[in-house]
Amino acid sequence: MEPSAASEFRVEHDTLGQIRVPATALWQAQTQRAVENFAISGERVHPEVIRSLLLIKRAAAQSNGHLGVVSAGVADAIRRACDLLLQGDLQQEFPVDVFQTGSGTSTNMNVNEVISTLASNDLGERVHPNDHVNASQSSNDVFPTAVHIAVLTRVERTLLPSLQNLLNSLRLKETEWAGVVKAGRTHLMDAVPVTLGQEFGGYATAVSLGIDRIQATQQRVSSLPLGGTAVGTGLNAPPEFASLTIEKLSQDLGLSLYEAPDHFEAQGGQDSLVECSGACRVVAISLNKIASDLRWMSSGPAAGLGELSLPALQPGSSIMPAKVNPVIPEVVHQVVAQVIGNDAAIGFAGASGNFELNVMIPVMARNLLESLDLLSSATLALSEKCVRGSVAHESVLIANAERSSALVTALVPLIGYEAASRIAHTAQANGSSIREEILNEGLLTATQIQSALDLLEMTKGRSDLPNH
């Protein structure tokens, strides 16, 4: 490193020549070129990817030291530098835009250079970003490995716990409202009765299946490209390097990681990330259904369904003082839209691999990690700020169910389809109830009507009525 005439800069060099770097920056020439080349979005690479790269570099240094690729002193200096970065708040040292060279080389070199600077200062001799920090590695296998680890970490530590929290909330409501009868609805039209508990049980099962879907993708995401180096052949890496490094990573992270059985597949395509994104899309769609139903049931309170009250979190209008809106379900809808959009981008990116490399990995990482973060936060909000505090208006629910002409369905086995249809149309025309009209026509006794139109029993799918 050579000081420049301007004290706020120093001069670094790489294979393309010299370049000015901010004097206090820990990065070096290749990072600076990336900062200048990729002024695209102003959005930096996700911190979890940086953290994963640091973990990989630390484990790789230990493996390289053990295998004699680098000296013990260099390996220890790299390890200490990684520990410092992992423990400190040095995110400002990783300024590269998320939209960059498609292999993630710029971010890989950014991490290599920052480690190199710290390790060199620690050791008192040059620790080279390529020859030492990047030894036995290539951006083409290291960066996607970091993305896989970042995704696994986010799934395990944020998304799955959030989904489990929502599942628990929904199961509590399923139990609480097991005996609360309401009108069923199909096509947004009256249908035979259900219980509010049954509806929330359905929501809970959807979330449970979503958890299963996400978990099913993780075994394949746990397959790491590390060890393939540039094209999948493993050139310049000792045969034992990948297994040693992945074993260390598994121990550090508490994850069951393994080396990809086919490095050409692992680097040429990114199907496991596409699969994980697809599972996130399904979860998002399930959440949208739940949020939509909550909005419908809480609509009103006077001119809507008014069957539920959701927690009042904030005033709903700048002009209408009485308004309180279903803000959390609305947030969920927006998150769902974003996740579906992210999945579309990930699918396109996943289809863009050529030969031994997919050069769309940075945008896949950006969108998938955003989806995981958004789903985690929105799911937790839906659970804690909406579902848990929701209140059922039982009188409204039962009144809506009693008014429904769909109740006549339970009478079909007793009076036949055509008579039941006539009764329903008459009740609708007169604004009367099914009970009133069937009694008026004298088709059944009051006792028979009471038995046949027991709403709670109807929710149990009774099949013991005699045929007409």
Q: What is the pLDDT of residue 263?
A: 98
Residues present in the chain in total:
468
Higher pLDDT, 468 or 200: 200
Residue 69 CB-half CA count within 13 A: 23
The per-residue pLDDT for range 5-19, each reduced to its tens digit, is 458 999 999 999 999
- Decide: 70 and 133 in contact? Cβ < 8 Å: no
pLDDT(235) > 80: yes
Mean pLDDT of 65-76: 98
Q: Give the sign of the dihedral formed by CA 120, CA 125, CA 131, CA 135.
A: negative
* Closest of 332, 284, 277 to residue 154, by C-alpha: 277
Q: What is the pLDDT of residue 463?
A: 54
pLDDT(467) > 70: no
Domain with CATH 1.10.275.10 in the chain: 2-135
Q: Where are the beta strands (DSSP E) in 248-313?
A: 258-259, 308-309
The per-residue pLDDT for range 123-144, each reduced to its tens digit, is 999 999 999 999 999 999 999 9
Spot the catalytic one: 13, 41, 256, 317. Answer: 317
The per-residue pLDDT for range 169-183, each reduced to its tens digit, is 999 999 999 999 999
Q: What is the pLDDT of residue 461?
A: 78
The per-residue pLDDT for range 204-224, each reduced to its tens digit, is 999 999 999 999 999 999 999
Q: What is the pLDDT of residue 88?
A: 84
Helix H or strand E segment including 62: helix 47-67
Confidence category of residue 420, pLDDT binned at 50, 70, 90: very high
Q: What is the pLDDT of residue 466?
A: 52
For residue 458, give both structure tokens.
Answer: 């109807």
pLDDT(43) > 70: yes
The per-residue pLDDT for range 423-437, each reduced to its tens digit, is 999 999 999 999 999
Spot the catalytic one: 7, 187, 395, 463. Answer: 187
Q: Which residue has the tokens 């490094």?
A: 245
CATH topology (fold) of 141-393: Fumarase C; Chain A, domain 2 (1.20.200)
Say what percent of the chain tops pLDDT 70.
Answer: 97
Q: Where are the beta strands (DSSP E) in 330-384?
A: none
Say what percent of the chain tops pLDDT 90.
Answer: 95
| Local structure of 189: helix, strand or coil | strand
The per-residue pLDDT for range 52-66, each reduced to its tens digit, is 999 999 999 999 999
For residue 259, give both structure tokens.
Answer: 């080396």
Domain with CATH 1.10.40.30 in the chain: 404-458
The per-residue pLDDT for range 295-333, each reduced to its tens digit, is 999 999 999 999 999 999 999 999 999 899 999 999 999
Q: What is the pLDDT of residue 2?
A: 52
Confidence category of residue 462, pLDDT binned at 50, 70, 90: low
Q: Which CATH number fits domain 2-135: 3.40.50.1950, 1.10.275.10, 3.30.590.10, 3.90.420.10?
A: 1.10.275.10
CATH class of the domain whose range is 404-458: mainly alpha
Q: What is the pLDDT of residue 89?
A: 77
pLDDT(1) > 80: no
pLDDT(468) > 50: no
- Tell me whether residue 317 is one of the annotated catalytic residues: yes
pLDDT(159) > 50: yes
pLDDT(4) > 50: no
Mean pLDDT of 404-416: 95
- Tell me whether residue 120 is one of the annotated catalytic residues: no
Mean pLDDT of 368-378: 98
Q: What is the pLDDT of residue 464?
A: 53
Mean pLDDT of the chain: 95
Q: What is the pLDDT of residue 344?
A: 98
For residue 226, give both structure tokens.
Answer: 């590390």
Domain with CATH 1.20.200.10 in the chain: 141-393
What is d(CA 253, CA 155) in angstroms, rounded to the nearest whole number?
13
Range of lowest pLDDT (3-7, 87-91, 105-109, 225-229): 3-7
